[in-house]
């Protein structure tokens, strides 16, 4: 079975998606849509057979399109996803699903009512070592989670913000915690479980932008584990790193900024006598996961598997909702200078919109 897919947007993230989609035979890139038709045409040159469109409504009306992949600036995600779900199409949406918890929940509700799938993009989950660690956790080899730290230290200079919507509340919907750390925070929840409380400090220290570019965040999970998150866009180089301490083992990730799960990870047993046993388990898991698709390719493969009703490790839309809710909680904590508990009150102002009042 082949799925006919339309890419909405033709920027850098669309190109990354297309490179991965090209590796899979399950998707036919039927159309690339952008209001800048020349830009879409330039992107389509590498994908023969793709039609070019600059009117999104024509794709909405096109009954031959099975699924759309939204690769637009964040402030357009909600309205675009809503339009296509209501038109009866499956939707893949780059992070974030929306810039409001309330709007993210609306997308989930409409996807259920239309019996269509909504797929938030969290490609970090498909790194080899991410799958190995999750397997160890699922099989009781790690013991309970205790403490974790996340470092998202990237370099974003003035040139990066020449794109008009970046660094603005209306265009990007938030700063570093939304645009850069959201994947790392998703992995922390993936490994350690749901976040229960947040205490955050945010600041703009690197560039002259509206939104934050530095953060220091303390979190607790429902199991009682403690997490710290350090974020800056003023580092010399780009790196993303996790350190995770469990009851039985400690784990340190690689520091690849875009795919930390692909680097070599260090697994250390707390009991030195168990180190050989741990290493043998990892060797066996390597045999299982070494041939799997990773990153965006792994994500799109799981989308295909899910659409075909095969066994799938697909990310649920509720996971996308939780990532948005954590962002809202972080903003609320930083502004009120107090600890914020999750889940948020659905009637609260921060649930509906976290952007600051003008």
Same domain, 201 and 277: yes
Same domain, 185 and 199: yes
Q: Which helix (H) or strand (E) holds 109?
A: helix 101-113
Same domain, 275 and 135: yes
Q: Return the pLDDT at 81.
A: 99
Which of 270, 292, 314 terminates a domain? The answer is: 292
Instruction: Give the least confident one: 52-66, 281-295, 313-327.
Output: 281-295
Same domain, 234 and 130: yes
CA atoms of 156 and 358, how far apart (whole Å): 26
Residue 178 has pLDDT above 80, yes or no: yes
Which of 93, 123, 153 terminates a domain? The answer is: 123
Residue 313 within a domain: no
**What CATH number did the domain enclosing 112 receive?**
3.40.50.720
Same domain, 142 and 277: yes
Partners of 120 in the beta sheet? 93
pLDDT (tens digit, 9 = 90+) per residue, 208-223? 999 999 999 999 999 9
Same domain, 227 and 239: yes
Residue 322 within a domain: no
- Region 168-193: mean pLDDT is 98
CA atoms of 90 and 182, how far apart (whole Å): 23
How many structural domains are present in the chain?
Answer: 2
* Structural domain harbouring 234: 124-292
Give the three-state DSSP class for 285.
helix
- Region 10-27: mean pLDDT is 95
Instruction: Give the least confident one: 7-21, 70-84, 284-298, 310-324.
Output: 284-298
Same domain, 112 and 150: no
Partners of 118 in the beta sheet? 91
**What CATH number did the domain enclosing 180 receive?**
3.30.360.10
Same domain, 180 and 287: yes
Q: Return the pLDDT at 291.
A: 63
Same domain, 104 and 230: no
pLDDT (tens digit, 9 = 90+) per residue, 91-127? 999 999 999 999 999 999 999 999 999 999 999 999 8
- Torsion from C-alpha of 86, 89, 94, 99, nearest 10 degrees: 10
The whole-model pTM stands at 0.96
Same domain, 73 and 155: no
Residue 42 within a domain: yes
CA atoms of 309 and 59, how far apart (whole Å): 25
Residue 351 within a domain: no
Which of 99, 123, 147 terminates a domain? The answer is: 123
């Amino acid at each position: 079975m082949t799925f006919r897919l339309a890419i909405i947007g033709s920027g850098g993230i669309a190109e990354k998606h297309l490179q991965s989609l090209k590796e899979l035979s399950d998707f036919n890139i039927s159309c690339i849509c952008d209001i800048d038709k020349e830009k879409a045409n330039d992107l389509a040159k590498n994908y023969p057979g793709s039609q070019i469109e600059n009117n999104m409504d024509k794709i909405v009306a096109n009954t031959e399109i099975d699924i759309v992949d939204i690769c637009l600036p964040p402030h357009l995600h909600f309205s675009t996803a809503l339009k296509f779900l209501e038109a009866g199409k499956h939707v893949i949406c780059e992070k974030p699903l929306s810039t409001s918890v309330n709007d993210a929940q609306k997308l989930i509700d409409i996807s259920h009512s239309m019996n269509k799938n909504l797929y938030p993009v969290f490609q970090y989950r498909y790194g080899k070592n991410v799958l190995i660690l999750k397997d160890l956790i699922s099989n009781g080899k790690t013991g309970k989670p205790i403490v974790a730290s996340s470092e998202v230290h990237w370099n974003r200079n003035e040139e990066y913000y020449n794109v008009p919507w970046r660094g603005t509340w209306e265009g990007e919907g938030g700063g570093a915690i939304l645009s850069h750390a959201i994947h790392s925070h998703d992995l922390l929840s993936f490994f350690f479980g749901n976040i229960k409380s947040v205490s955050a400090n945010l600041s703009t220290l690197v560039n002259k932008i509206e939104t934050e570019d530095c953060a220091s965040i303390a979190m607790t999970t429902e199991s009682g584990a403690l997490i710290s998150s350090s974020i800056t866009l003023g580092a010399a180089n780009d790196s993303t790193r996790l350190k995770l301490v469990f009851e039985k083992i400690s784990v340190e990730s690689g520091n690849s900024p875009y795919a930390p799960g692909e680097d070599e990870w260090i697994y250390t047993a707390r009991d030195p006598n168990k180190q050989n046993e741990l290493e043998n388990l990892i060797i066996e898991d390597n045999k299982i996961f070494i041939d799997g698709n990773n990153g965006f390719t792994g994500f799109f493969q799981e989308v295909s598997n899910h659409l075909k009703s095969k066994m799938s490790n697909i990310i649920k839309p509720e996971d996308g909702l939780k990532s948005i809710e954590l962002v809202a909680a972080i903003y609320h904590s930083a502004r009120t200078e107090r600890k914020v508990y999750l889940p948020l009150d659905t009637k609260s102002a921060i649930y509906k919109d976290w952007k600051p009042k003008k």
